[in-house]
């Protein structure tokens, strides 16, 4: 006689289970410059922690003109401490971080697909502060390979999966731009990011300017 299967052990009362599901949502993207179909190149600019796309885009208008400037906004908005009514956005936090990384890579891929530029149009990505890590992850894991990634006031995330990404990353020109008095990206942090890239066969351009954690219009014009 075949023994019957053991009955399933019921979950203890009050046991918690975490699941994930994908839901549609509306993202906000600011654009400027030439239309995608006519643009000399496309610039994607990823803002820093607590910033909003519309304000951030104003600082980057030197990249527009004959180029098409695209400024996606991080999917997580929140109220800023110390600013009455101030609102900012973030790309991710340490909570459920792997899922948020995947969400933003898919989000940025979707933005590019929405633009439908000619396939031969060169793409460049600029990440500022927290947006620098997101720029690196999109370049490493996303659906398109940019010709250049500019990390401004931010660095290469130390947990990047180079086994997965090294081949495509070696085909990208990397530029590190930092102010000499930037409190969030001191010289040793810049050296560390440059060392990570060099360790994987990538020689980055390193650009310094006199200033802090902000953009410098002269360098933006040179990049454009």
Q: Which two tokens stand for residue 56?
A: 């951030």
Q: What is the pLDDT of residue 106?
A: 96
Q: What is the pLDDT of residue 21?
A: 86
Ramachandran angles phi, psi of 104, nearest 5° = -75, -30
Mean pLDDT of 185-206: 97
Domain extent listing, the chain: 29-223
Q: Are strands 173-179 and 76-79 parallel, antiparallel or unpaired?
A: unpaired
Contact 209, 180 (CB under 8 A): yes
- What CA–CA distances, in Å, run from 190 to 7, 112, 140? 59, 29, 19
Helix (H) or strand (E) holding 138: helix 130-141
Sign, Cα dihedral of 169, 136, 187, 175: positive
Neighbours of 146 (CB within 10 A): 24
Quick check: 3 pLDDT over 60? no
Quick check: 203 pLDDT over 70? yes
Neighbours of 27 (CB within 10 A): 14
Q: What is the pLDDT of residue 6?
A: 59
Neighbours of 171 (CB within 10 A): 11
CA 150: distance to chain centroid?
A: 11
Query: What's the pTM?
Result: 0.90
Quick check: 68 pLDDT over 70? yes
CA distance 140 to 122: 17
Neighbours of 70 (CB within 10 A): 28
Q: Are strands 87-90 and 205-209 parallel, antiparallel or unpaired?
A: unpaired
The CATH number of the structural domain formed by 29-223 is 3.40.50.1820
Quick check: 13 pLDDT over 80? no
């Amino acid at each position: 006689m075949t023994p019957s299967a053991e009955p399933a052990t019921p979950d203890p009362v009050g046991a918690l289970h975490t699941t994930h599901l994908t839901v549609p949502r509306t993202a906000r993207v600011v654009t400027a410059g030439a239309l995608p179909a006519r643009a000399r190149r496309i610039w994607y600019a990823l803002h820093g922690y607590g910033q909003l796309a519309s304000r951030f885009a104003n600082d980057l208008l030197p990249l527009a003109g004959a180029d098409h400037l695209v400024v996606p906004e991080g999917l997580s908005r929140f109220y800023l401490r110390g600013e009455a009514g101030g609102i900012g956005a973030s790309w991710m936090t340490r909570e459920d971080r792997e899922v948020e990384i995947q969400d933003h890579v898919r989000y940025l891929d979707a933005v590019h697909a929405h633009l439908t530029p000619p396939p031969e149009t060169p793409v460049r990505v600029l990440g500022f502060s927290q947006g620098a890590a997101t720029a690196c992850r999109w370049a490493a894991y996303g659906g398109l390979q940019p010709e250049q990634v500019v990390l401004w006031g931010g660095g290469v995330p130390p947990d990047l999966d180079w086994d997965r990404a090294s081949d495509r990353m070696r085909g990208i020109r990397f530029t590190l731009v930092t102010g000499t008095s930037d409190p969030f990206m001191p010289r040793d942090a810049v050296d560390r990011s440059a060392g990570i890239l060099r360790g994987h066969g990538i020689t980055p351009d390193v650009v310094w300017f006199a200033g802090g954690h902000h953009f410098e219009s002269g360098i933006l014009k040179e990049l454009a």
